[in-house]
Structure 1
């Protein structure tokens, strides 16, 4: 694959922040810095950066840090203007022995990093992907907050006075939540500890119910978006709306990953060669999108339960001396390839049945 320096004549590196963006314009052939600018992170600032780039003739590319975060607005603005944008997920930062650190330096470093790369990543795009990303983020936060509140409920029941704790003894978590929501704090007993325990437990239970309802609402919306965008994913064994949405937000659009091997690296399911001499071995890949990796792990856990072909595959690999952990890793790589090929083909609607 050609390096970026062979494709364009100008590269604009951008160091993004919440309120400002700093850009450095570099000559792709010589690496010389031609211009610098710091603008506000708003449409007027984006227009200023475009004007800065248009002062230089020739083909150009933008190397932006954080196109899914602080640089999302700029990346969207440039895409609408037909500009070539390169995503920098984690620029290489040399050791700063002399303490060299500033926004202009980081912007210049982003441009040089992009010039040296042979594999150029495209930013994630699409309104459906953005909508799914927001829903997934909000749902994950609600689920985690509900789990923390449940832990607090258990802890406070254990430390509550016996008159309160007796009401929860022998109950599982859902029953405890139901019991706590029905508590009626009163000062008639005159015991401030009992009254406080009843009030706090009731408030915790109500918070849990509200968070669970919020998470359910997000999941319903996620299912609707997936069904309207890529309903064919839901027909795959082990792929539900949350898994499908996670895969879609990582994949984004056709052509973002050049092949299934690149998608596997993104998912952290591609084995890393660790061979030396006559020893041929691979080590576990712990990089990539961990949310995507977790989604694939969920599919790999459900496939052996519900898919006959997967069970036959696992049995065959066991006869070859593979452990269950090694089989699961192989299965995750196979699932990654299957999902990539499905995603890169035009979507097929689900049967009316």
Structure 2
């Protein structure tokens, strides 16, 4: 089995074929990042019928090429850039660096089965990630427009507008206002434009949530069975996590999302402090779930929280413990969902064959 390493760049890709037994460089080719040159790459690689591909940063610059190869039925591995850097440092002449050496390093990591992970075709998880990113942008735009509307209403009305401002409430406030100057008439006109923008964004957010619900139904996840997890939160958990099997343990996932507490080195072993590391979007989602469950007297989360309080923990410490407990629970659910999806794909491929 020959390993072909890929060092991707924005406009060009370099491929190097390596024999994993002898670690011999069998040849290299440099192509442009175009579909025509992708076909040239496949034609070049046919010299080794038994092959697998090792793409450095297959979720970044190498994403398009990696997915194109997967669709063709090629065996593709994702190699992180940090792993190829370690290979270069341990090899002779470690200070040297060029595209061919980087491609060979990616192939070496894949051959040694280090940090390489199989690349799978895009599916519902990627759809949820895109929808979550879109919702984040829509929410940011809505917040910005609502703040502008608040500022204008404060200049028009005594006492301004309520904090929870909606398009309907803003329209009702303007309905009883009579502009007495050209400046106020301009402000009213701008307020109406902003209200129209709010309505449009609210409609887009509603459509976005429906799309999330449909994608979650296709995904078949059981996350929504957990108290405090709705379509938006479930989409964020799945979309931000990606392929959950890349975390070997629940502790690794907790460290990734920042819910794992950090022990205070200069204090007793039982004392911990809040972690500021990890994916803050995932951390925020887990915090929201924890707060919802704490406010539900009959939920399992509230029972867990009360147990930690009875053990002598403070409210914040009990909340952090619940958040880590939820992280472990979410990890187990998503891992089971991924395994079930993998079995279904295998069954479908067997039926097709």
Query: Common fold, TM-score beyond 0.5?
Result: yes
Shift of 1:150: 1.0
Q: What secondary structure sits across from 2:82 in the alignment?
A: coil
Residue in structure 2 matched with residue 157 of structure 1 by the alignment? 153
Asked if 1:144 corresponds to 2:134, the answer is: no
Residue in structure 2 matched with residue 10 of structure 1 by the alignment? 3
Higher helix content, 1 or 2 = 2
Cα deviations by residue, 1:76-107 (Å, 9 ceiling, x for unpaired): 2222234343334563669xxxx988655655
Cα deviations by residue, 1:185-239 (Å, 9 ceiling, x for unpaired): xxx9772x33332222221221122112111110111012212322532111111
Q: What secondary structure sits across from 1:174 in the alignment?
A: coil
Residue in structure 2 matched with residue 317 of structure 1 by the alignment? 308
Residue in structure 2 matched with residue 43 of structure 1 by the alignment? 35
Residue in structure 2 matched with residue 133 of structure 1 by the alignment? 129
Matches within 5 A, 1:254-333: 255-271=245-261, 284-306=274-296, 307-333=298-324
1:247 and 1:32 mapped to 2: Cα distance? 43
Cα deviations by residue, 1:164-195 (Å, 9 ceiling, x for unpaired): x12773544425764359969xxx9772x333
Shift of 1:295: 1.9
Cα RMSD between the aligned structures? 4.0
TM-score (norm 2): 0.74
1:326 and 1:220 mapped to 2: Cα distance? 36
TM-score (norm 1): 0.74
Cα deviations by residue, 1:302-330 (Å, 9 ceiling, x for unpaired): 12112443223222222333233332332
Matches within 5 A, 1:92-241: 107=103, 110=106, 118-123=114-119, 125-158=121-154, 160=155, 165-166=156-157, 169-174=160-165, 178-179=169-170, 191=182, 193-241=183-231
Count, aligned residues: 328
Residue in structure 2 matched with residue 80 of structure 1 by the alignment? 71
Shift of 1:110: 5.0
Q: What secondary structure sits across from 1:237 in the alignment?
A: coil
Change in 2 beyond 3 A, CA 1:32/1:295: farther
Cα deviations by residue, 1:97-128 (Å, 9 ceiling, x for unpaired): xx988655655565566678744344464421
